[in-house]
């Protein structure tokens, strides 16, 4: 048989118009086949593995899948009680202004779908580049299914760039027919936002052992308080004499009907230094909560709305039980109840999967970033103030094994002013790899995220964590600390094999900060009291925040030596000199990845696509 490669081509050349005609005919045929297929049955659950309710009542349910080869997300939106249309989209922080939107609307007779954007005043405009691609729509007993596709990057300046980290999804319900897209009044819509991690990592699920057991840490039939936000604490305990096991997986257990109210959950293990902990079942901020519960802070599991089951790598498990491990656990549930439902009962929690057959390595959790101290502060009125914490080469050289460690998951953490968090691995003065980054970080959406690829860290490496804060709504300085109106900058990295190093963080040298306060006194009319009895927060609060004082503080944090905390689990530092340490010198930065633009489809009319649904409301 003659090879096709050696045979000369005798095909007639096709004109560009004919090629384009064939292409669009095939696309149209594909859409017809897809819509016809959807008329017969609902899409399989496995086609859209990720799911989240968009609204508190659960009337809007979003499912999606991620195609990394196509660099695209496929969405399935279930609208249970359709009225006259819907806005769905993405924006920087969940605003309806400057948003990237897919819009379904009806004029009372016909239905339309289009890609749109909103300007700074909230006015809607049809996008000249239609990048929300409608794939199909169908009615079903449970509501209307809408299927559409969106590339990660479109290179359209009006479009949102879908990237790793948190995505703020927004929705708005049209309760009246509208004659055109431009007639939609965003301010009058019933709408809201939901935060998700759209770009889930494509990770294979490890095989689970036959002797695996489960344990549910759940709230005991709690009546959810009729207020918007509640943090509920419940104490549980392991059986007496519970031996060492490995947690190898966990998943949420959410009471049916409460999917839109259970925002996130965490299970903490208590400190082993106490023989017992009091029972408690109530609000975490209640005055009745025993103070000793504050010593239950070692994270065993964390879940947030939209997250799937969490799997440990097949070589490692998280140890719990046995000598030196507390039997006491604290479950914390964040209830988000904006519609103030009354009398809802809940028994949600987390199901742990564990095994007595220990895996080769214990997994560990290490804190990176900034020490919880007021010497790190953010002036008021800042839109993007940056603070950086260091895990230096000196600490990793001393504390990590020669073969290094492997980071497989990460949980970023700030308080209310945090807007961005990133941790970068540096080696020999060169940034090598991003460990975890969230450019749209929200303190209201914190989960342990499995990394797309395991990060190897060796002795002598540096881990640099940078947080960006916004304090435009504050009138005085925000200092570091444990209070919700104070700030943190932390990355809890999950790794194996476990080492003695539990905390690798830094803060500016206190002596240099004292010099800063002296400098402010010299150059300002208002004197800051440097008396020993005046605390660092009080000194920050008394600073007149002019441009000079702001710029000098930024400069101080960028060059002053640091106090390193290279700590063991006992909270004792590794031996060595850790004060007045120089900042790591970075000679080569990672390049910001540019957007990958899909092939240009050619000029497209900025017009909505008609939908064969007739009147939306029935």
Q: Catalytic residues, which ones?
A: 231, 413
Distance CA(203)–CA(308), nearest Å, equals 12
- Rg over alpha carbons for the chain, rounded to the nearest Å, is 27
Distance CA(521)–CA(555), nearest Å, equals 17
Strand 385-391 with 609-611, pairing: unpaired
CB contact at 8 A, 376 and 516:
no
Strand 501-508 with 364-370, pairing: parallel
Distance CA(310)–CA(205), nearest Å, equals 9
Rounded to 5 degrees, φ, ψ at 37 are -60, -40
Task: Give the H or E element holding residue 117.
Answer: strand 111-118
Distance CA(530)–CA(102), nearest Å, equals 57
CB contact at 8 A, 162 and 152:
yes
Extract the tokens encoding 107.
Answer: 């004029």
Rounded to 5 degrees, φ, ψ at 142 are -85, -10
Extract the tokens encoding 335.
Answer: 């209830």
SS3 171: strand
Question: Locate tokens 């503080």: which residue?
Answer: 553
Distance CA(326)–CA(341), nearest Å, equals 37
Prior bond to 538 cis, omega within 30?
no
Q: Identify the bridge partners of residue 281 per DSSP, sorted by sequence position.
A: 234
Question: Locate tokens 């609000």: which residue?
Answer: 283
CB contact at 8 A, 466 and 590:
no
Handedness of CA 411, 417, 420, 425 (dihedral sign): negative
Distance CA(25)–CA(31), nearest Å, equals 10
Rounded to 5 degrees, φ, ψ at 381 are 75, 20
Q: What is the DSSP letter of 444?
A: T
CB contact at 8 A, 165 and 191:
no
Q: Identify the bridge partners of residue 302 per DSSP, sorted by sequence position.
A: 266
* Other beta carbons less than 10 A from residue 120's beta carbon: 8
* Other beta carbons less than 10 A from residue 559's beta carbon: 10
Distance CA(369)–CA(615), nearest Å, equals 55
Extract the tokens encoding 294.
Answer: 């504050």
Task: For 344-395, give the DSSP string.
Answer: -EE--EEEEEEESS--SEE-EEEEEEE-S-TTSEE-TT-SSEEEEEEE-HHH
CB contact at 8 A, 592 and 530:
no
Q: What is the largest CA-CA distance in the chain?
A: 95
CB contact at 8 A, 329 and 267:
yes
């Amino acid at each position: 048989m003659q090879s096709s490669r050696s045979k000369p081509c005798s095909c007639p050349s096709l004109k560009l118009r004919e090629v384009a005609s064939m292409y669009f005919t095939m696309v149209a045929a594909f859409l017809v086949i897809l819509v016809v297929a959807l008329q017969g049955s609902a899409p399989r659950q496995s086609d859209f593995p990720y799911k989240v309710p968009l609204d508190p009542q659960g009337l809007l349910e979003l499912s999606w899948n991620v195609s990394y080869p196509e660099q695209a997300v496929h969405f399935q939106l279930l609208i249970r009680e359709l009225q006259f249309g819907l806005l769905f989209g993405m924006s920087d922080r969940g605003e309806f202004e400057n948003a990237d939107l897919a819009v379904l609307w009806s004029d009372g007779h016909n239905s339309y779908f289009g890609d749109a954007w909103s300007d700074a005043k909230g006015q809607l405009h049809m996008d000249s580049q239609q990048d929300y691609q409608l794939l199909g729509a169908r009615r079903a007993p449970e509501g209307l299914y809408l299927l559409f596709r969106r590339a990660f990057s479109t290179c359209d300046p009006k479009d949102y760039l879908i990237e790793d980290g948190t995505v703020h999804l927004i929705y708005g319900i049209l309760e009246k027919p509208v004659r055109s897209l431009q007639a939609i009044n965003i301010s009058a819509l019933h709408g809201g936002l939901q935060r998700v991690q759209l770009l889930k990592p494509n990770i294979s699920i490890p095989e689970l052992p036959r002797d695996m057991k489960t344990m549910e840490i759940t709230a005991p039939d709690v009546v959810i308080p009729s207020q918007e936000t509640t943090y509920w604490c419940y104490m549980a305990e392991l059986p007496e004499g519970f031996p060492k096991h490995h947690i190898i997986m966990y998943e949420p257990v959410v009471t049916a009907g409460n999917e839109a109210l259970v925002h996130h959950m965490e299970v903490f293990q208590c400190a082993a230094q106490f023989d017992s902990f009091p029972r408690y079942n109530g609000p975490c901020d209640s005055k009745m909560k025993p103070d000793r519960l504050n010593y239950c802070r070692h994270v065993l599991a964390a879940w947030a709305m939209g997250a799937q089951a969490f799997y440990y790598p097949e070589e490692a498990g998280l140890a719990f039980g046995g000598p030196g491990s507390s039997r006491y656990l604290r479950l914390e549930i964040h209830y988000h109840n904006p519609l103030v439902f009354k009398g809802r009962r809940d028994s949600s929690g987390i199901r742990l999967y564990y095994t007595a057959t220990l895996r080769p390595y214990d997994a560990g959790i290490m804190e990176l970033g900034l020490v919880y101290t007021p010497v790190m502060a953010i002036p008021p009125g800042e839109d993007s103030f940056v603070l950086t914490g260091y895990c230096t080469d000196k600490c990793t050289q001393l504390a990590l094994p020669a073969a290094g460690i492997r980071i497989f998951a990460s949980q970023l953490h700030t308080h209310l002013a945090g807007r961005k968090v990133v941790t970068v691995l540096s080696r020999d003065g060169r940034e090598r790899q991003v460990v975890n980054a969230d450019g749209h970080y929200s303190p209201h959406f914190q989960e342990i995220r499995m990394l797309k690829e395991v990060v190897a860290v060796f002795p002598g490496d540096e881990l640099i964590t940078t947080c960006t804060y916004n304090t435009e709504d504050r009138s005085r300085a925000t200092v570091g600390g444990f209070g919700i109106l104070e700030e943190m900058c932390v990355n809890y990295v999950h790794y194996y094999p476990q080492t003695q190093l539990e905390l690798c963080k830094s803060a500016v040298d206190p002596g240099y900060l004292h010099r800063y306060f002296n400098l402010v006194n010299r150059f300002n009319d208002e004197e800051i009291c440097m008396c020993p009895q005046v605390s660092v927060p009080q000194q920050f609060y008394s600073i007149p925040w002019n441009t000079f004082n702001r710029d000098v503080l930024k400069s101080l944090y960028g060059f002053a030596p640091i106090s390193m905390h290279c700590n063991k689990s006992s909270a004792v530092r590794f031996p060595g000199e850790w004060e007045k340490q120089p900042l790591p010198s970075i000679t080569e930065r990672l390049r910001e990845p540019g957007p990958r633009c899909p092939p240009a489809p050619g000029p497209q009319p900025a017009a909505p696509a008609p939908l064969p649904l007739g009147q939306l409301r029935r």
